[in-house]
Every structure is written in C-alpha cells, then in structure tokens.
Copies of this chain bind each other. A is one copy, B any other.
Amino acid sequence: MDEMTTDHRFMQLAIEEARKAEALGEVPIGAVIVKDGEVIARSHNLRETSQNAVTHAELTAIQDACEAVGSWRLEETTLYVTLEPCPMCAGAILQSRIPRVVYAARDPKGGCVDSLYRLLNDERFNHECDVSEGVLAEECSAMLTDFFRALRDKKKAQKRAMREVE
C-alpha cells in the first residue's frame, strides 16, 4: 500500500466519524479538526438523533475545538470534512478563523465553498481560507450515494408492506 499522505490519514478519521453517523441512521458526514498534527476535535452529523438543526459534523467539531483550545480563534488548525460545507458550516469556519479546510466530495445542491458560493474565499469577509478538495472524494461520495439509495429502498419496501396490509 502506498504511504498515505497526512491529508489522507486525517480524512480517513473523518470517514470513521461519518460511519458513526451512518450507524445511527444519520446522513453520513464526519469532520475532524487538527492542530500541530494532533486531532483536537472529531464529530459527525447528528441532526436526527439530536433534533437540533445546527448539529452538523463541522459545527459541533468547531464547538469542541474551541473548548479544547480555550479560544474562539482556531488558529493554526485544519478542518477535514467528508462533504463540501453548507452555508452554516462555511460561516462557522469563517467565524472561528480556521486557516485551512480540506473536503472530500462536492455538494452541488448546497455546497458553499465551491459549488453554489465561494464563501471561504471572499475578500469582503474578515477571514479567508486555504481550501483543498477531492481528498478521498470517491469513497465519501459513494458512502452518501449508498446511504440515500438504501433509504429509498427502505421507503419503497415500507410502501409495499403498507399496500399488502391494506
């Protein structure tokens, strides 16, 4: 096996987080925040479990990282996330001054880093990020596609079962 790069290694941890979300029936998205080569926060999407709209992987990881470093400024950190951030999470990245963001798959429907907007690279805001995309993108993309396919299959099976009962 080729030696994995640092970015691949940390994205693998973000994928592990996404798998925890999947195990709970949540859309599989995971994030980790790294400082000086150490993971200071790791989190996964918990929207359904928590019934709290803001519990996206990135947002809770940012909250945990602020607690870990004792500051709202997450200087010298890198955030790894399996899917391109939404407007809320891109905004939280700006608010916490994270200097570098690495994401795996693009989100053409809601992504605000490259797809619909480029919120992390707008010089009118008081912070801009260095962004890398595409790290383990295929794996992260397949994880989401498989999840939504399984969800559709489950709903179809439920409908069939309902019709049989009627």
Point out residues on A near B: beta carbons under 8 Å: 47-48, 50-56, 59, 62-63, 66-67, 70-74, 86-92, 94-97, 109-110, 112, 116-117, 119, 122, 124-126
Contact = CB atoms under 8 A, between A and B. Distances in A.
Main SS of chain A's interface residues? loop
B95 A66 contact: no
A70 to B, nearest CB: 6
Given A54-B63, A87-B87, A116 B126 contact: no
One complex includes copies of this chain to the number of 2
Contacts of A89: 88, 91
Contact of A124 (B86, B91, B116): B116
Given A51-B70, A53-B62, A116-B125, 17 more contacts: A47-B72, A48-B72, A51-B71, A52-B63, A53-B66, A53-B73, A54-B66, A55-B72, A56-B95, A86-B91, A87-B88, A87-B90, A88-B90, A91-B91, A91-B112, A116-B122, A117-B117
A62 B62 CA distance: 17
A58 to B, nearest CB: 10
A63 to B, nearest CB: 6
5 closest A-B pairs by beta carbon, nearest first, are A88-B91, A87-B91, A53-B96, A53-B72, A53-B95
Given A92-B88, A125-B110, A53 B67 contact: no
